[in-house]
Amino acid sequence: MSKPVIFTISAAWDHEAAVWTGHCDDIPAAADAPTLDELLAKISAMALDLLSDNHPNVDPASLYLQITALREAEPAAAMQQRKKKQKPLADRLTLIARDLLAKAGPNRRHEQKARQDQKSNPEALPGELIFDQSE
């Protein structure tokens, strides 16, 4: 194996776009991705594609990539705090489903009553629901 060649990827968090933006001047290549792992995968693929054109003497097996990542400490810490305070998604969805079912409950009873009224009223058109307004 030949001597290792290390290329550095400079990455920064773009808060507005919610992605990591990275570039490597040695390759040259630039990409963005939601996670550092995805950014590394994208630039790694680019590096292997462009290596023979830009660095013909470098063996692909000896290529290593290192990432230098920059992100503001306060927003990252605040995001971690929000995640800790939030209930898991499954719990939030369960609460939403319960709320929706509670709201839908009376409507279902009215619909069932309307279907019963329809069976007892031969003048109703097919598919027409008749609601008794006396309730």
* Per-position pLDDT tens, the chain of length 135: 678 999 999 999 998 999 999 999 998 999 999 999 999 999 999 999 999 999 999 999 999 999 999 988 776 667 777 766 666 766 767 777 777 766 666 555 556 666 666 666 656 555 555 555 554
Predicted pLDDT at 2: 79
**% of the chain beyond a pLDDT of 90:** 47
d(CA 47, CA 21): 16
d(CA 7, CA 65): 5
Predicted pLDDT at 128: 52
Q: How many CB atoms lie within 10 A of CB 125?
A: 8
Q: What is the pLDDT of residues 75-84, one digit of tens each?
A: 666 777 776 6
Q: Where are the domains of the chain?
A: 5-72, 84-123
Which DSSP state fits 113?
H
- Which of 54-67 are b and which e, b meaning 16 or more Cβ less than 10 Å from the residue's Cβ? ebeebeeeebebeb
- HSE-up (13 A, CA, CB side) for residue 118: 14
CATH topology of domain 5-72: TTHA1013/TTHA0281-like (3.30.2390)
Q: How many CB atoms lie within 10 A of CB 68?
A: 10
